[in-house]
C-alpha cells in the first residue's frame, strides 16, 4: 500500500471502561494474524494503549492522533506518513473515552469523533451490554444521530450473558428503522481470561505474560465472535479518502541546499531512556528527532551500567520510575554517568518521569526513599493528587536562549502525573502568589516554561513558571508533542550540536566557522559559543581572534620554503615509504575528545588527510565516537553551500543563512557593476606554482570568471583540477593578464618565484601581459585565494578591480596583499619592481539588511578536453605498500584482470581501516603447473597520481578492462555505496600512475554494476547496470582513438528485440575467426549472460550484440542454448576460454547455499563501516544490518540478520542450511 493510503476504521466506545481497548487490540491482533499489515493509532495523548497496539500488530509502532494538540493538518500529516512508512494494508484507530468526549463540553475538539470526521472513517461502536436489553438500540441510535457527519458502520456488543441475550440485542437493533445500515458485527461473552490489569494511567505496561496469554485469548475471542470479513468490507465500502494537509507542520523549514545535505551531516547521537521505568514517548517525537538529524540510541537506566559512548544528547521520557526506585538507586554507575554527562555540558531533555530521575531523591509516598541522579536542586514525592490536562507552554528566557526558540512560541503539550517537586521534607517547592497562582520554584533560578492550563471556561488562567533549565539540562512535567510544535525537534538537535566538541584541521573550515560565529543575527540576539572549537592545525591562521589561543594538533614534515625545494623534499619523503606528510599530536587529540573533526582529502601537502586522521583517531580509541567532515569545495558555489553546511554542523543554521545571503549579495554587486560597464574581458592565466609550472584550478578559475575575466587556457574551468603544464602552453595561450599566487607564499614570496623561474623562460617578456605599460603581471598573497572560504569573495572583489581598473568602486584602498610589476622590460632584479596595487574596494554590506538573492547564472561548463596521448609521470605516492606475500584484504564487489602473465585485483568493498592498497597483483608465471592456489603469491602495488588529481576514486561494483598497458576503470558506487559514479579513471601499468580519463561526447549515466568489454582493441562497450532506482539496457561506446562517447543502443525497457534492463550480469567480447555475411557466429560480438532485472529477479538468458549492426533491429540476438543450462544467477563471473568457450563461475541463484560466504562478507563489511543497511546485489533490495536491528524491537518478519534468535533466511529460500549465516 506504499502508493496509496489504506482503508481506515475507528473503534470507539460509548464511554470509558466498556472494553474498547481490549476489543481494538483483539481486532488488530486477528487481522495481523491473517497476514495483514495493520497500522495502529490511538486518539489522544495516552502512552500505554499504543504499547499494547504495537505488540498486537507485530511491532509496528502505534501513533497518537491528538486533535487538541496537533490540529487537523498535523493529524492528517502524521496519519499519512506513518501509514506509508509501514506500508499498511489497514489502519485501525482506537478512540479515547466516549465517542464524543473531548477537551470541553461545547465542541468535539480532542474527541474521537473529531478524528473520525477528519479521516472520513467509519466508526465501530463498542457497547457494554451486560445490563442492557432493547435499551441498547436506543443508545446506539443516540450515537448514530447525534452528529450527522459521523458514519456509524457497526456495533460490537460486549459482555453478553449468552446466546439468547445476544439474539435479543440483535433483534432490538435490526428492528429499528432508525438504525438502518448499522450492523451488529459481534457479540462478545464476558470472560475473565481477557481482563487486562489497569493502573492510574489506564492499562498496565504490556508484560510478556500480557502479550502471550491475555492478547492470545482476546484474539481467539475476536476470531470466534466478531465477523471480521464484514468489518473489513465495511471499511472498503466507506469513503476513506483522506485529504492532504493544507500545510506542512511536521518538518523543519530549511534552505533547499541544507535539506539535501541534512543526511550528510555528522549524526547527533541522542540517547533515549527506554525500559519499564521510562517508556512514555510519542512515536512521532522520535521520528521528528531523526528527521532533524538525530540518531536514536536506546539505553536502560534500569539495566545498563553507563550511558552509551559518544552521546551528544539525552532524552529521558516519562514512565513509572516510582515502581523501580530500588533498582534505579542500586544502579549507581548509571546515575553517576548521567550526572557526569550533564555536568560536562551535554544536552539533557527530561519529561515527567525523566525529571523525577534527575532529582536528588524520590519519595514513594509510603515511607520509601530512593537516591536518584542528584542533578536537580529538589526531591520529588508521590502524592494522591492527580495533575492532568492540556497545557499551553511558552519557553522561558533561559530555554529560549538555550534552544534558540522564539520567546512568544506556544508549545502544545499535556501533563499527567501524581508526583510533585518537593524539598527534602516533602514540602512542595512551588511558591504561590497571593491569588494561589504559582510564581516559581524554590531553588530554581530559571524555569523551563511559563505554562497555562487549557480550560473550557471563558476565564483565562494566569501562567505559572514550571520546570527548570540548569546549564544544558531541561526538565519539565510537560509532555511536548513535537509534531504539534515542529520547531522543537530541530531546536534540540541544533542545541546538541552547539554543545559538541570540534577540532578543525582544515584552514577553510576554521575561517568559515569564524565568519559564522561572528555573523550578526538581530532577530534572535543570542550569543555564539566559539569555545566548542578545541584544536586546529598549524595552517589555521585566520581569524586571529579564534585561533590565537587554540592548541595546534598537527605539524608539517615539509620544512622547505621554495617550490623547488618543496618538490624535492616531498619526493624524498615518499621515497622512504612515508605515508603522511603531517604528524598528528595524538595526545592533544585525545585530550580534546572531539565529536567532529573538519578535515580534507584533496591534498596531502596542504593539510592532514581524512585517511591519516582516521588512523590517528583509531589509535587513541576515538574512531567510533568521532565523525569527520570533509571540506572540499571546488567552486565558489560549493563554498557558499559549505557555509550552510558547516553552519548546520555546529548548530548555527540561521547565522549560516545570513552569511550566505551577505556573500551572495556581494557577488551580485560585482556582477551588476561589470554588466553595467560591459568592459572587454581580458584573457587571464593563473599559476599556483612557478616550479614546477602548475596552472591553478578548482575555485580559482571560478573567481576569475566572476571577476569579469576569460580563461586563457581552454582546459581551465570552474572546478577543474590544478595541473602541470609546459611553458609552451602558456606562450600559446597568450594571456593578457598573468596572476601568480604560489602555494604557501606571500605576494613578496611569489614575486621572487617569478624572478627565479618564469622571467628566465623564452618568450616570457613577449607575452601580451608583459607588453602593456605597466605590465599586467600581478602576484597575490596566498591567503586571499588559497582557502575556499568566505574570504574568496574579497579575493573576487580585488581581482575584479585588477581586471577592470576603470570601474568606479565606492572606496579607494591600498592593498598590500597584491603587488604589480612596474619595472622595465627584461630587467634583472625583477622582484624589486613589484609595488602594492592601488585598487578600488567596495564598501562593506550590512548582512542584516539583505534578502537572500539568487545570483545570475555564470557559464561554468568545461571546455572540450584533449584526448589523452600519454600518462604523466608519477609525482605523489598514495599509499605505503604492506609486505609482499600478504593476501589481499577481505574484499567484495572488486574486479579481477589479467596483464602480462599477472592477475590484477582492483579493490572494491573493504573495511574502512584496512583499505590502504587499491591494487594487488599475483604473477601466475611463478606458480608451478598443477600447484595449489595457496602458492599464488599476492603483493600490493603502490601507485601514484598525477599532481593535483584526487585519484583513484574509491569505488565498488565497478567495471574495468586492460587496454595494452592501460587499466581503464568505469562506474560503480562511491565509498559509502550510496551514489553511482560515471567517471572514468586510467592507470598506466608501467608507471603505476593514476589519472582522470578526459573524454568528449555524452558518457553513460552514473551507474553501478555495469559490464564493460574491450572490443577489437579500439573501442570500449558499456552495457547495463543500475543507479539504485532504475536498471539499464543501453550500449554506449567509447572510441579509444578519439576518446569520444556515442550511444549505439538507447535504453528501452519495452523493446522485445533486446535484453531486459539488468544489473550484476557478465559480458565478454568474442572475436570472430571468419567473416561470413550469412553466418552470425562469424561476427565480432559481445555476449551477455544472466544478471537480474526488476521483474524476474535472477536470469539465465544469453544475448549477443553485434556493434557493426548498431541502429538496426537485429543488432541484438537472443541465443537459445542446449545442454545443461545454468540456473538463473547474478553477481557471477565469466571468461572466454580457448576462443570458443564461455566459462561461467560462481553465482547467486537465490535458492542454494553457495552465497553464504558472500553475504557474510557483505554484512561484516557493512557493520564495520557502521552502516544500518546495504543493498543485496542479487535482488536489489535493501537489507538491514544487525547494527540497525539490535536497537529495535523484533518485527517478527525473519529479517536476514535478525539479532534476536529468529531464523535467518534469504528471501525465497524454503529449506535453508541451519548453519548458514546470511
Four-residue CA torsion sign, 478, 481, 482, 485: negative
Work out the mean pLDDT of the chain and round it to a whole number.
83
Identify whether residues 778 and 892 lie together within a single domain: no
- Among residues 47, 111, 35, 43, the alpha carbon closest in space to that of 79 is found at 43
Identify whether residues 712 and 774 lie together within a single domain: yes
Three-state helix/strand/coil letters over 1019-1046: EEEEECCECCCCEECCEEEEECCCCEEE
Based on the structure, what is the number of domains in the chain? Answer: 7
Q: How many CA atoms lie within 13 A of 288 on its CB side?
A: 28
Cis omega (within 30 of 0) on the bond before 1176? no
Find all residues with CB under 8 Å of 261, minimum gap 6, and list them: 641, 644, 645, 648
Identify whether residues 217 and 299 lie together within a single domain: no
**What is the extent of the structural domain holding 896?**
873-974
**Domain for residue 864, yes or no?**
no
Identify whether residues 217 and 327 lie together within a single domain: no
Element (H, E) at 395: strand 379-395
Set 83, 352, 478, 657: catalytic member: 352
Identify whether residues 78 and 154 lie together within a single domain: yes
764 DSSP 8-state letter: G
1113 grid coordinates: 533491429
Residue 127 · residue 144 · CB < 8 Å: no
Q: How many CA atoms lie within 13 A of 814 on its CB side?
A: 3
What is the Cα–Cα distance from 895 to 918, expressed in whole angstroms?
11
Burial of 808 (0-12, 13-18, 19+ CB in 10 A): exposed
- Coil, strand or helix at 1052: coil
888 grid coordinates: 589481499
Please report, for residues 363, 376, 830, 1140, 1164, the alpha-carbon distance to residue 330 in angstroms, rounded to integers and kept in the order given.
Answer: 15, 19, 80, 76, 37
**Domain for residue 79, yes or no?**
yes
What is the Cα–Cα distance from 739 to 818, expressed in whole angstroms?
10
Q: Which residues of the chain have pLDDT under 50?
A: 1-2, 199-203, 240-241, 243-260, 811-812, 841-885, 912-914, 931-933, 1073-1075, 1077, 1149-1155, 1192-1197, 1207, 1211, 1217-1222
For the entire predicted model, the pTM comes to: 0.66
Residue with cell 607564499: 745
Identify whether residues 1115 and 1217 lie together within a single domain: no
Identify whether residues 885 and 1014 lie together within a single domain: no
Q: Is 577 left (phi over 0), alpha (psi -120 to 50) or beta?
A: left
Identify whether residues 1147 and 1188 lie together within a single domain: no
Query: What pLDDT, on the 0 to 100 scale, is given for residue 400?
Result: 94
Identify whether residues 61 and 92 lie together within a single domain: yes
Residue with cell 542500586: 330
**Domain for residue 859, yes or no?**
no
Element (H, E) at 985: strand 984-988
**Domain for residue 160, yes or no?**
yes
**Domain for residue 844, yes or no?**
no
What is the Cα–Cα distance from 495 to 290, expressed in whole angstroms?
15
Among residues 474, 495, 516, which one ends one of the domains?
495
Identify whether residues 518 and 617 lie together within a single domain: yes
pLDDT in tens, 1173-1189: 676 665 556 677 777 66
Residue 1008 · residue 980 · CB < 8 Å: yes
- Among residues 1120, 1118, 1132, 1003, the alpha carbon closest in space to that of 1063 is found at 1132
Identify whether residues 1103 and 1070 lie together within a single domain: yes
CATH number of the domain encompassing residue 124: 3.40.50.300
Please give the distance of CA 939 from its chain centroid, rounded to a whole number: 37
Query: What pLDDT, on the 0 to 100 scale, is given for residue 256?
Result: 43
Element (H, E) at 897: strand 895-899
Query: What pLDDT, on the 0 to 100 scale, is given for residue 865?
Result: 30
Identify whether residues 474 and 521 lie together within a single domain: no
Three-state helix/strand/coil letters over 293-346: CEEEEEECCCCCCCCCCCCCEEEECEECHHHHHHHHHHCHHHHHHHHHHHHCCC
- Among residues 205, 266, 243, the alpha carbon closest in space to that of 54 is found at 205
Q: What is the DSSP string of 488-538?
A: HHHHHHHHHHHTS-EEE-SHHHHHHHHHHHT---TTT-----GGGEEEE-T
333 grid coordinates: 554507575
Residue 84 · residue 34 · CB < 8 Å: no
Among residues 454, 478, 495, which one ends one of the domains?
495
Cis omega (within 30 of 0) on the bond before 952? yes
* Catalytic residue list contains 352: yes
- 3-state DSSP helix/strand/coil % of the chain, to nearest 5: 30, 25, 45
**Domain for residue 162, yes or no?**
yes
CATH number of the domain encompassing residue 519: 3.40.50
**Domain for residue 246, yes or no?**
no
- Among residues 633, 723, 610, the alpha carbon closest in space to that of 975 is found at 610
CATH number of the domain encompassing residue 373: 3.40.50.880
**Domain for residue 77, yes or no?**
yes
Residue 469 · residue 398 · CB < 8 Å: yes
Three-state helix/strand/coil letters over 345-394: CCEEEEECHHHHHHCCEEECCCCCEEECCCCCCCEEEEEEEEEEEEEEEE
Rg of the chain (C-alpha set): 36
Among residues 935, 957, 974, which one ends one of the domains?
974
pLDDT in tens, 248-272: 334 444 444 444 455 578 999 999 9
- Among residues 783, 789, 794, the alpha carbon closest in space to that of 842 is found at 794
Amino acid at each position: 500500500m506504499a502508493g496509496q493510503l489504506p482503508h481506515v476504521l475507528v473503534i470507539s466506545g460509548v464511554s470509558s471502561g466498556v472494553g474498547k481497548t481490549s476489543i481494538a487490540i483483539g481486532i488488530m491482533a486477528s487481522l495481523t494474524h491473517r497476514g495483514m499489515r495493520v497500522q495502529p493509532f490511538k486518539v489522544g495523548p495516552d502512552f500505554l494503549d499504543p504499547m499494547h497496539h504495537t505488540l498486537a500488530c507485530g511491532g509496528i509502532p502505534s501513533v497518537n492522533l491528538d486533535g487538541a494538540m496537533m490540529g487537523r493538518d498535523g493529524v492528517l500529516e502524521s496519519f499519512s506518513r506513518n501509514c506509508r512508512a509501514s506500508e499498511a494494508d489497514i489502519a485501525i484507530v482506537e478512540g479515547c473515552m466516549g465517542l464524543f468526549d473531548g477537551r470541553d463540553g461545547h465542541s468535539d475538539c480532542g474527541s474521537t469523533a473529531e478524528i473520525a470526521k477528519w479521516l472520513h472513517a467509519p466508526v465501530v461502536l463498542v457497547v457494554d451490554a451486560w445490563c442492557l436489553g432493547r435499551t441498547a438500540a436506543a443508545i446506539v441510535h443516540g450515537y448514530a444521530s447525534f452528529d450527522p457527519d459521523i458514519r456509524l458502520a457497526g456495533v460490537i456488543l460486549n459482555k453478553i450473558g449468552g446466546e439468547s441475550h445476544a439474539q435479543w440485542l440483535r433483534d432490538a437493533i435490526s428492528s429499528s428503522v432508525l438504525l438502518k445500515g448499522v450492523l451488529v458485527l459481534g457479540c462478545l461473552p464476558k470472560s475473565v481470561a481477557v481482563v487486562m490489569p489497569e493502573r492510574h494511567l489506564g492499562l498496565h505496561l504490556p508484560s510478556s505474560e500480557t502479550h502471550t496469554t491475555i492478547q492470545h485469548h482476546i484474539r481467539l475471542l475476536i476470531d470466534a465472535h466478531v465477523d471480521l470479513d464484514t468489518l473489513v468490507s465495511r471499511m472498503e465500502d466507506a469513503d476513506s479518502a483522506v485529504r492532504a494537509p493544507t500545510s506542512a507542520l511536521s518538518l523543519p523549514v530549511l534552505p533547499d541546499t541544507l535539506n539535501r545535505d541534512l543526511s550528510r551531516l555528522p549524526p547527533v547521537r541522542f540517547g533515549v531512556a527506554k525500559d519499564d521505568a521510562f517508556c512514555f514517548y510519542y512515536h512521532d517525537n522520535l521520528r521528528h528527532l531523526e528527521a532533524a538529524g538525530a540518531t536514536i540510541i536506546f539505553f536502560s537506566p534500569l539495566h545498563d551500567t553507563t550511558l552509551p559512548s559518544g552521546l551528544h544528547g539525552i532524552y529521558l521520557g516519562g514512565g513509572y520510575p516510582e515502581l523501580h526506585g530500588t533498582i534505579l538507586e542500586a544502579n549507581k554507575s548509571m546515575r553517576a554517568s548521567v550526572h557526569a554527562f550533564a555536568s560536562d555540558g551535554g544536552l539533557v531533555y527530561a519529561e515527567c518521569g525523566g525529571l523525577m530521575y534527575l532529582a536528588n531523591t524520590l519519595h514513594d509516598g509510603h515511607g520509601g526513599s530512593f537516591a536518584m541522579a542528584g542533578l536537580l536542586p529538589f526531591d520529588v514525592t508521590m502524592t494522591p493528587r492527580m495533575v492532568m490536562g492540556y497545557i499551553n507552554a511558552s519557553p522561558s528566557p533561559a530555554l529560549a536562549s538555550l534552544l534558540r526558540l522564539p520567546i512568544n512560541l506556544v508549545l502544545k503539550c499535556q501533563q499527567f502525573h501524581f508526583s510533585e517537586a518537593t524539598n527534602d521534607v516533602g514540602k512542595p517547592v512551588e511558591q504561590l502568589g497571593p491569588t494561589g497562582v504559582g510564581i516559581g520554584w524554590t531553588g530554581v533560578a530559571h524555569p523551563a516554561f511559563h505554562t497555562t492550563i487549557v480550560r473550557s471556561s471563558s476565564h483565562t488562567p494566569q501562567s505559572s513558571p514550571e520546570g527548570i533549565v540548569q546549564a544544558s539540562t531541561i526538565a519539565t512535567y510537560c509532555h511536548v508533542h513535537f509534531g504539534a510544535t515542529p520547531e522543537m525537534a530541530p531546536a534540540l538537535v541544533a542545541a546538541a550540536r552547539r554543545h559538541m566538541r570540534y577540532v578543525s584541521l582544515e584552514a577553510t573550515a576554521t575561517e568559515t566557522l569564524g565568519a559564522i560565529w561572528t555573523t550578526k543575527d538581530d532577530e534572535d540576539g543570542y550569543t555564539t559559543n566559539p569555545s566548542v572549537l578545541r584544536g586546529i592545525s598549524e595552517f589555521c591562521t585566520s581569524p586571529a581572534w579564534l585561533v590565537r589561543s587554540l592548541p595546534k594538533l598537527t605539524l608539517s614534515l615539509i620544512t622547505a620554503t621554495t617550490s623547488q625545494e618543496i618538490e624535492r623534499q616531498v619526493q624524498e619523503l615518499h621515497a622512504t615509504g612515508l605515508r603522511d606528510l603531517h604528524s598528528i599530536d595524538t595526545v592533544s587529540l585525545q585530550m580534546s575528545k572531539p565529536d567532529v573533526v573538519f578535515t580534507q582529502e584533496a591534498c596531502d601537502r596542504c593539510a592532514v588527510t581524512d585517511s591519516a586522521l582516521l588512523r590517528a583517531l583509531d589509535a587513541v580509541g576515538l574512531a567510533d565516537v568521532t565523525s569527520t567532515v570533509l571540506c572540499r569545495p571546488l567552486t565558489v558555489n560549493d563554498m557558499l553551500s559549505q557555509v550552510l553546511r558547516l553552519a548546520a554542523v555546529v548548530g548555527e543554521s540561521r547565522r549560516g543563512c545570513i552569511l550566505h545571503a551577505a556573500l551572495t549579495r556581494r557577488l551580485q554587486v560585482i556582477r551588476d557593476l561589470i554588466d553595467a560597464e560591459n568592459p572587454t574581458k581580458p584573457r587571464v592565466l593563473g599559476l599556483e606554482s612557478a616550479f614546477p609550472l602548475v596552472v591553478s584550478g578548482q575555485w580559482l578559475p571560478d573567481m576569475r570568471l566572476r571577476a569579469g575575466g576569460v580563461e586563457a587556457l581552454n582546459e581551465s574551468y570552474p572546478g577543474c583540477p590544478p595541473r602541470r603544464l609546459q611553458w609552451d602552453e602558456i606562450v600559446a595561450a597568450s594571456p593578457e593578464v598573468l596572476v601568480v599566487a604560489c602555494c604557501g607564499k606571500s605576494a613578496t614570496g611569489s614575486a621572487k618565484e617569478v624572478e627565479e623561474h618564469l622571467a628566465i623562460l623564452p618568450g616570457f617578456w613577449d607575452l601580451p601581459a608583459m607588453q602593456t605599460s605597466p605590465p599586467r603581471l600581478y602576484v597575490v598573497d596566498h591567503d586571499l585565494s588559497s582557502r575556499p572560504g568566505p574570504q574568496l569573495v574579497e579575493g573576487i572583489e580585488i581581482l575584479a578591480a585588477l581586471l577592470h581598473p576603470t570601474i568606479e568602486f565606492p572606496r579607494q584602498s591600498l592593498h598590500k596583499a597584491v603587488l604589480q610589476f612596474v619595472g622595465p622590460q627584461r630587467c634583472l632584479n625583477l622582484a624589486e619592481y613589484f609595488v602594492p596595487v592601488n585598487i578600488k574596494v567596495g564598501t562593506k554590506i550590512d548582512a542584516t539588511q539583505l534578502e537572500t538573492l539568487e545570483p545570475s547564472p555564470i557559464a561554468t561548463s568545461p571546455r572540450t578536453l584533449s584526448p589523452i596521448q600519454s600518462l604523466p609521470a608519477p609525482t605523489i605516492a598514495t599509499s605505503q605498500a604492506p609486505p609482499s606475500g600478504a593476501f589481499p584484504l577481505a574484499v567484495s564487489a572488486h574486479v579481477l584482470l589479467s596483464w602480462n602473465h599477472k592477475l590484477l585485483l582492483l579493490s572494491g568493498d573493504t573495511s574502512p581501516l584496512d583499505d590502504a592498497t587499491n591494487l594487488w597483483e599475483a604473477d601466475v608465471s611463478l606458480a608451478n603447473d598443477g600447484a595449489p592456489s595457496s602458492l599464488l603469491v599476492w603483493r600490493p602495488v603502490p601507485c601514484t597520481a598525477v599532481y593535483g588529481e584526487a585519484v583513484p576514486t574509491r569505488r565498488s561494483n565497478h567495471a574495468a578492462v586492460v587496454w595494452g598497458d592501460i587499466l581503464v576503470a568505469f562506474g560503480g558506487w562511491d565509498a559509502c555505496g550510496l551514489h553511482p559514479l560515471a567517471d572514468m579513471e586510467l592507470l598506466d601499468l608501467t608507471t603505476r600512475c593514476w589519472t582522470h580519463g578526459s573524454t568528449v561526447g555524452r558518457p553513460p549515466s552514473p551507474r553501478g554494476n555495469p559490464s564493460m568489454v574491450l572490443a577489437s582493441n579500439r573501442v570500449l562497450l558499456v552495457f547495463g547496470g543500475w543507479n539504485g532506482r532504475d536498471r539499464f539496457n543501453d550500449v554506449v561506446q567509447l572510441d579509444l582513438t578519439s576518446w569520444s562517447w556515442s550511444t549505439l543502443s538507447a535504453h528501452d525497457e519495452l523493446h522485445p528485440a533486446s535484453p531486459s534492463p539488468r544489473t550484476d550480469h557478465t559480458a565478454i567480447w568474442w572475436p570472430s575467426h571468419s567473416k561470413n555475411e550469412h553466418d552470425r557466429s562469424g561476427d565480432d560480438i559481445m555476449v551477455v549472460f544472466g544478471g537480474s532485472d526488476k521483474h524476474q529477479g535472477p536470469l539465465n538468458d544469453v544475448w549477443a550484440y553485434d556493434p557493426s549492426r548498431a541502429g538496426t533491429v537485429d543488432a541484438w540476438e537472443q541465443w537459445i542454448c542446449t545442454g545443461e543450462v545454468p540456473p538463473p544467477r547474478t553477481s557471477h563471473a565469466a571468461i572466454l576460454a580457448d576462443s570458443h568457450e564461455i566459462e561461467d563461475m560462481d553465482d547467486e541463484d537465490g535458492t542454494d547455499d553457495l552465497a553464504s560466504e558472500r553475504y557474510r562478507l557483505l554484512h561484516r563489511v557493512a557493520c564495520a563501516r557502521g552502516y544500518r543497511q546495504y543493498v543485496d546485489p542479487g535482488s536489489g533490495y535493501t537489507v538491514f544490518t544487525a547494527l540497525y536491528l539490535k536497537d529495535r524491537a523484533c518485527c517478527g518478519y525473519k529479517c536476514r540478520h535478525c539479532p534476536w534468535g529468529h531464523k535467518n533466511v534469504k528471501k525465497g529460500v524454503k529449506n535453508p542450511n541451519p548453519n548458514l549465516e546470511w
